[in-house]
Amino acid sequence: MSTSPATISASGSTTDRVGSLADVHEAAERVLPDLPTDPVMEALDLNVYYGDFHAVHNVNLAFGRNEITALIGPSGCGKSTVLRCLNRMNDLVAGARVEGEVSYHGQNIYARGVDPIAVRTQVGMVFQKPNPFPKSIYDNVAYGPRVTGMKVENMDDLVEEALRGAALWDEVKDKLKQSAYGLSGGQQQRLCIARTIATKPDVILMDEPCSALDPIATSRVEDLMISLREDYTIIVVTHNMQQAARVSDRTAFFTARPDETTGNRTGLLVEYNLTSNIFSNPNDKRTEDYISGRFG
């Protein structure tokens, strides 16, 4: 399958940036090709509508295995809408319509007969606000395997494995039967990550996972994301450009184009490249203006 080019248009270099190259996490400095090879997922000519409103226009992206891809851009540019397309969460929105293709290991997840529940088992999601269930810590983690009918030899072992994977086990191992609501906000978000990885997904989507967290909790989640990259492909929407620079391997910058008649804003993909390139030498003036704080 063909994908969009690594960059879309050319312009000048950035002189006034968020941080410096020294601030870009080593994750962005790994030796990677300009485009993902053997991508886990691809968005191909993706268009999204809410009724008559054209929310996202013609997005092409490829997501590499064991990479973190950040989706950045101003509010209303469609990045969260694109994220939700990757596991068919927009199916739950009245009036939403998706055109084009989203490919997972070469299979279009929007093809006739594809079960969206099965898609979400393989492509898990962590939301902006921690949303633990009104259950115990243990039952939160065990929920997914139970409701999906996942074959589990020992649920205790699976719960421990997921909590360890989310860097939470040592903090909760003595209170697994206590309510998840008793955890701090950062702990609740890591619990939601544990709940996601308990079903053994291939891809983890994160929609601004740190926006409701304090700086210390944010740092813990960012460290966790980098650790999880060893086993998962991660796609994260963030308004925090420093976060994108710290954790991601590749960054996609979106903007919004207003309709002159209605004023509605349609999301567009402007540029997609290695994170180090996006933040040090973007190819599009719009990207440069955004990361330098001139707009957004």
Q: Backbone phi, then psi, for 74, in 5-degree steps?
A: -70, 165
Q: Which of 92, 76, 62 is nearest to 203 (CA)?
A: 62
Q: 285 near 273, Cβ under 8 Å?
A: no
pLDDT band, very low/low/confident/very high, at 25 (cuts 50, 70, 90) = very low
pLDDT tens across 212-248, in order? Answer: 899 999 999 999 999 999 999 999 999 999 999 999 9
Task: Give the pLDDT mean for 76-105.
Answer: 94
CA distance 83 to 237: 7
pLDDT at 20: 38
Task: Give the pLDDT mean for 93-97.
Answer: 92
Amino acid in the structure at residue 204: I
SS3 readout for 155-168: HHHHHHHHHHHCCC
In sequence order, what DSSP letters do the residues of 136-182 get, joined into one string? BHHHHHHHHHHHTT---S-HHHHHHHHHHHTT-HHHHTT-TTSBGGG
CA distance 202 to 69: 14
pLDDT at 34: 76
pLDDT at 24: 39
pLDDT at 3: 36
Average pLDDT along the chain: 87
- Which is higher by pLDDT, 131 or 5? 131
Task: Give the pLDDT mean for 66-81.
Answer: 94
How is residue 72 written in tokens? 């950045």
Handedness of CA 259, 211, 73, 62 (dihedral sign): negative
Q: Is the pLDDT of residue 258 over 90?
A: no
pLDDT at 15: 34
pLDDT band, very low/low/confident/very high, at 5 (cuts 50, 70, 90) = very low
pLDDT at 295: 65
Task: Give the pLDDT mean for 265-288.
Answer: 93
The superfamily in CATH containing domain 21-131+200-291 is P-loop containing nucleotide triphosphate hydrolases (3.40.50.300)
The structure's pTM equals 0.86
pLDDT at 33: 72
- The structure tokens 């030899």 sit at 153
CA distance 215 to 251: 22
Task: Give the pLDDT mean for 88-105.
Answer: 94
Task: Give the pLDDT mean for 46-55.
Answer: 93
The percentage of the chain sitting over the pLDDT mark of 70, rounded to a whole number, equals 89
Task: Give the pLDDT mean for 37-43.
Answer: 91
CA distance 188 to 71: 23
Task: Give the pLDDT mean for 74-85.
Answer: 94
Task: Give the pLDDT mean for 137-164.
Answer: 95
pLDDT at 208: 93
pLDDT at 257: 87
Q: Is the pLDDT of residue 4 over 60?
A: no
Q: Is the pLDDT of residue 12 over 50?
A: no
CA distance 148 to 118: 9
Annotated domain spans of the chain: 21-131+200-291
Alpha helices in the chain (DSSP H): 79-85, 116-122, 137-147, 155-165, 169-172, 185-197, 215-228, 241-247, 275-280, 285-291
pLDDT band, very low/low/confident/very high, at 261 (cuts 50, 70, 90) = confident
Q: What is the DSSP letter of 52?
A: T
CA distance 114 to 106: 13
Task: Give the pLDDT mean for 162-178.
Answer: 96
3-state helix, strand, coil in the chain (%, to 5): 35, 25, 40
CA distance 160 to 183: 17
pLDDT band, very low/low/confident/very high, at 30 (cuts 50, 70, 90) = low
